[in-house]
Amino acid sequence: MLHGLVSKTVPLKPSFVFVGGDMQNWWPNEGAQKNRNRPGGMSDADFQELCSKDLGRKQRVSVRRSLEALEGAGIPVYYTPGNHDIGDHPDVQTLDRYVGSGGESGWGPLFQRVKQEGGILYLQLNSQVYWSTAEVLDDYRAKQLEFLQAEVSNMQANIKRLVLLTHIPPFMSSVDEKEGWANWKQVYRKQILDLLAAPKIPMLWVCGHFHANVETDVTYQGVPMSIRVTSAAGTTMQWDGLEDLTPQEAETVASKEIANAFAEDIGFSKIKQRLRAQPDRSGMRIFRFDEDDGSFEDQWYTLDQLDDMPTEA
């Protein structure tokens, strides 16, 4: 699916492409006692053989190869770490590998200023440090906070829209919604949103993780804030049989533990049907910005729908 989306993207000539995390499916730092990479009922010997195949690295290589056409066309690609890339609770090893270590190319910085185009400022940040409360991440949180504080302090007067690119959305519907598998811990939500709202510049969050489309438009401390949780190149997960969810519907799913969300909103007997990868479910979201006033338009396109797209983004 990703290769097909890339081939549709090149003629559109976007100013850049954002890959919203999870460039691999293999969990990178699972414990020995409970490993989500292990299929149910698999013997120890068979699982050891599976682990020896280094599937995580092979998946990363496959993604890089699929994206080569973008780089060859001169289209910049920016990434953000997802929980499948660095783990639900990242550690030093997974974070180091993400940025590049051990002879393998990394995906880029954990956080960065992507670019400024007219009145639009794009920042990319690591949302996993706001989902996990692991103490080992305290230093990473502090460094990312310093980065964001510096960006806010140095915000130019002509900035009309702040665009935040990350994996997990801060929330789906309400800043006070219950914590779950697909939103941030509340303490970090308030800390980061308070900081970013201080300049009184409208915000747009572009996120992934949820594998379904959710469009949220609210105000936070008087500042207009939009959240676009976009589905995936792999496939759309049909939570409660839906591909597009209202913010309230998404909040209900996102605020649960992941096992409960799968059991109650996917249904284990319906996984093959509701997680099937096919051209009318896999896709990407296209944004168009007015660099003068900061306004934007966006739409999700499936791979099938992209066949009818004009070749100009």
- The one-digit pLDDT tens for each residue of the chain (313 residues) are 899 999 999 999 999 999 999 999 999 999 877 899 999 889 999 999 999 999 999 999 999 999 999 999 999 999 999 999 999 999 999 999 999 976 788 999 999 999 999 999 999 999 999 999 999 999 999 999 999 999 999 999 999 999 999 999 999 999 999 999 999 999 999 999 999 999 999 999 999 999 999 999 999 999 999 999 999 999 999 999 999 999 999 999 999 999 999 999 999 899 999 999 999 999 999 999 999 999 999 999 999 999 877 665 4
- Cα separations in angstroms, 53 against 50, 59, 312: 6, 11, 41
Q: Which residue has the tokens 């995580």?
A: 56
Q: Tell me the one-letter amino acid at 284.
A: M
Confidence (pLDDT) at 313: 45
What is the spatial distance between Cα 253 and Cα 165, in angstroms, rounded to a whole number? 22
What is the spatial distance between Cα 296 and Cα 163, in angstroms, rounded to a whole number? 11
What strand order describes the sheet that includes 120-124? 112-117, 120-124, 161-165, 203-207, 223-229, 213-220, 244-245
For the record, the structure tokens of 77 come out as: 């690609």
What is the spatial distance between Cα 281 and Cα 311, in angstroms, rounded to a whole number? 21
For the record, the structure tokens of 150 come out as: 């510096």
3-state SS, residue 163: strand
What is the spatial distance between Cα 167 and Cα 98, in angstroms, rounded to a whole number? 14
- Cα separations in angstroms, 118 against 27, 121, 123: 39, 8, 14
Residue spans per domain, the chain: 2-32+43-290+302-308
CATH class of 2-32+43-290+302-308: alpha beta
Confidence (pLDDT) at 310: 65
Question: Are 61 and 104 spatial neighbours (Cβ–Cβ below 8 Å)?
Answer: no
- Cα separations in angstroms, 9 against 6, 199, 285: 5, 34, 11
Sequence-ordered list of residues with C-beta below 8 angstroms from that of 137, at least 6 positions apart, any chain = 89, 90, 129
Confidence (pLDDT) at 104: 84
Confidence (pLDDT) at 312: 54
> Environment class of residue 139 by beta-carbon count within 10 Å: exposed (0-12), middle (13-18) or buried (19+)?
exposed
What is the spatial distance between Cα 89 and Cα 239, in angstroms, rounded to a whole number? 24
